[in-house]
Amino acid sequence: MVKTSNNLEFDLEYIFKIINKQNPDKIGLQFPEGLKRQSFNIASLIEDHTGKDVIISGDPCFGACDIDYYLLSTVDIMFHFGHSTMNIEDNSTVYFIECQSNIDLTNVVKKAIPELKGKKIGIITTVQHTGKIQSAVKILESHGFEVILGTGDSRIKYPGQVLGCNFSVTDSSQCDEYLYVGSGNFHPIGVYLSKGKRVIIADPFMDEIRIVDPFKTMKQRYIVIAKCHDAIDFGIIVSKKGGQKRDKLATKLKKLAKNHNKNAYIIYMDLITPEQLLNFKVDAFINTACPRIAIDDVGNYQSPILTPIEFEILLGERNWDDLALDEIRGD
Ligand code: SF4
């Protein structure tokens, strides 16, 4: 196991085994932003041990949805760090090297117990804590809770695992409320809005408990929809990234716009930033790429960015009560 500076671990022996078996000439490495600082160290370990050439992707990488296909076309195999597979890649050329957190979950989960009001608790988490999530299950069970770790769709590898764009593990679970073990608020807010149930956050990094309050996010989204009230011209953003590309949805939205006497133009992009959109003069954008773009960077774009669900609400095709975060679902 190799430990990174941010309390993550990954299995270097597994990487060596694959290289021995596949005997590639050139190896690509791809890292999310949080691991890029370790990239030279990891590349040196691989080169020194195997004698193979390693090339590192320098482009931003946001998830397993975001494979550097250009690099992949110039190497024999690629190791993609920090994410679990979404089952959309050829398994013999792209290997996902998950990085598991070595942070202990015991304390923070015990701290969450007084905040739990239901009997049936759905546990949700991100990939880096899936290796230790059974310890959270045992703690809750020992306190008399019924614990559910739901199974997700094909984009999800582990029971209880959520992505910023996929809460499918909550579909099958008949829970009273959810306990999210992890950092950040985006995933638990998404689950709250998707299921309409309380979500308690047990954050092992901050060692604190937070109760999800989606009010700010919902208010922001209502404001964005309201701003588009008189919009006529829409740019529909489609991502070139393999796991974010929803061109069929974009075509459907374009037809819908036409039916409502709106103009809509489909725009293909790789990296979506405020600068990249600046010269497209439309009243609003509809984002079919990573659902986080419309939410996380809401104030940074010159024109409002709607999710597909919000566009349907704007057109009166869906009720305001049905507002939920956008998701990209697998099979
Ligand atoms: S689409 Fe967005 S939320 Fe989903 S995996 Fe990719 S980067 Fe993460």
pLDDT at 13: 94
Q: Which of these three, 213, 247, 274, is where a domain ends?
A: 213
Rounded to the nearest whole angstrom, what is the distance from the C-alpha of residue 119 to the centroid of ligand 1?
Answer: 31
Environment class of 51 (CB within 10 Å of its CB; exposed 0-12, middle 13-18, buried 19+): exposed
Helix (H) or strand (E) holding 134: helix 133-142
Q: Is residue 328 part of a domain?
A: no
Residue 210 CA, ligand 1 centroid: distance in Å: 23
Q: Are residues 253 and 270 in the same domain?
A: yes
* Residues 69 and 147 occupy one common structural domain: no
**How many other CB atoms sit within 10 Å of the CB of residue 119?**
11
122: closest CA among 102, 140, 101? 140
User: Residue 51 above 70 pLDDT?
Assistant: yes
292 lines ligand 1 (CB under 6 A): yes
Nearest-atom index, ligand 1, CA of 289: 1
pLDDT of 173 over the 80 cut: no
pLDDT recorded at residue 174: 83
- Please tell me the distance from the alpha carbon of residue 131 to that of residue 186, in angstroms, as a whole number: 21
**Residues constituting the chain:** 331
Residue 294 lies in a domain: yes
Residue 178 covered by a domain: yes
Same domain? For 232 and 206 the reply is no
CATH number of the domain to which 170 belongs = 3.40.50.11850
Residue 62: count other Cβ atoms within 10 Å of its Cβ: 19
- What are the distances in angstroms from CA 71 to CA 28, 57, 63, 79, 269? 7, 7, 16, 11, 18
Tell me if 329 is assigned to some domain.
no
Q: What is the mean pLDDT of the chain?
A: 94
Q: What is the pLDDT of residues 191-240, one digit of tens each?
A: 998 888 999 999 999 999 999 998 999 999 999 999 999 999 999 999 99
User: Are residues 63 and 50 located together in one domain of the fold?
Assistant: yes
Domain hosting residue 138, numbered range: 106-213
Nearest of 217, 181, 184, 186 to residue 200 by alpha carbon: 181
Residue 259 pLDDT > 90, yes or no? yes
Domain boundary among 192, 213, 234: 213
Distance of alpha carbon 68 from alpha carbon 61, whole angstroms: 8
Q: Does 110 share its domain with 206?
A: yes
Same domain, 114 and 79: no
Ligand 1 atom nearest residue 86's Cα: 5
For residues 272 and 287, the answer to whether their CB atoms sit within 8 Å is yes
Q: Where are the alpha helices (DSSP H) in 228-300?
A: 247-259, 274-277, 292-296
Cα gap 327→195, rounded to integer Å: 13
Positive or negative torsion for Cα 289, 294, 300, 305: positive
Of 2-16, 120-134, 252-266, where does mean pLDDT reach its minimum?
Answer: 2-16
Atom of ligand 1 nearest to the CA of 64: 5
Total number of domains constituting the chain: 3
pLDDT in tens, 97-107: 999 999 999 99
170 vs 2 pLDDT, higher one: 170
Q: E-assigned strands of the chain? A: 2-3, 8-10, 26-30, 53-56, 77-81, 94-97, 100-101, 120-125, 146-148, 177-181, 199-203, 208-211, 233-239, 263-269, 284-287, 305-306
Residue 4 has pLDDT above 90, yes or no: no
| In a shared domain, residues 87 and 129 | no
Tens-place pLDDT, residues 133-144: 999 999 999 999
Cβ of 167 closer than 6 Å to ligand 1, yes or no, is: no
163 lines ligand 1 (CB under 6 A): yes
Query: Does residue 63's CB lie within 6 angstroms of at least one atom of ligand 1?
Result: yes
Mean pLDDT, residues 63-85? 96
* Cα 292 to middle of ligand 1, angstroms: 7
Residues 115 and 203 reside in one and the same domain: yes
What residue owns the CA closest to ligand 1's atom 3?
164
Within a domain: 131: yes
Judge whether residue 53 has pLDDT over 70. yes
Please give the C-alpha separations between residue 102 and each of 8, 82, 111, 132, 205, in angstroms, as whole numbers. 6, 14, 19, 8, 11
The pLDDT value given to residue 144: 97
Amino acid at residue number 70? Y
Pocket test for ligand 1, best of 33, 88, 96, 165 (most atoms within 8 A of CB): 165
pLDDT of res. 210: 97
CATH of the domain at 230: 3.40.50.11860
Residue 265 lies in a domain: yes
What is the average per-residue pLDDT within 101-122? 96
Query: Which of residues 189, 213, 237 is at a domain's end?
Result: 213
DSSP 125: E
Above 80 in pLDDT, residue 311?
Answer: yes
What integer pLDDT is reported at residue 6 of this predicted model?
66
Alpha carbon distance 122, 105 (integer Å): 16
Q: Is the CB of 245 under 6 A from ligand 1?
A: no
Mean pLDDT of 154-165: 96
Segment 33-48 mean pLDDT: 94
pLDDT at 23: 96
**Do the bridges between strand 146-148 and strand 120-125 make them parallel or antiparallel, or are there none, so unpaired?**
parallel
Residues 24 and 76 both lie in one domain: yes
Residue 238 lies in a domain: yes
Whether residue 290 sits in one domain with residue 234: yes
Give strand pairing partners of 299. Answer: none
Pocket lining: 294 vs ligand 1, CB cutoff 6 Å: no
Quick one: 227 and 195 in the same domain? no
- Nearest-angstrom CA–CA distance, 59 and 50: 25
User: Higher-confidence residue: 258 or 11?
Assistant: 258
Residue 257 to residues 53, 90, 289, 307, 313: CA-CA distances in angstroms?
A: 50, 36, 18, 14, 12
CATH number at residue 53: 3.40.50.11840
Whether 331 is covered by a domain: the verdict is no
Confidence category of residue 88, pLDDT binned at 50, 70, 90: confident
pLDDT at position 5 is 62
Distance CA 125, CA 182 (A): 6
The answer, yes or no, to whether any atom of ligand 1 lies below 6 A from the CB of 164, is yes
Residue of the nearest CA to atom 1 in ligand 1?
A: 290
Going by the DSSP 8-state scheme, the letter that residue 321 receives in this structure is G
Nearest CA to ligand 1 atom 5: 63
The two three-digit tokens of residue 226, written as one number: 């309201």
Specify the residue with its C-alpha closest to ligand 1, atom 2: 290
Q: Are residues 221 and 236 located together in one domain of the fold?
A: yes
The mean pLDDT of 124-136, rounded to a whole number, is 96
Q: Return the bridge partners of 233, or none.
A: 263
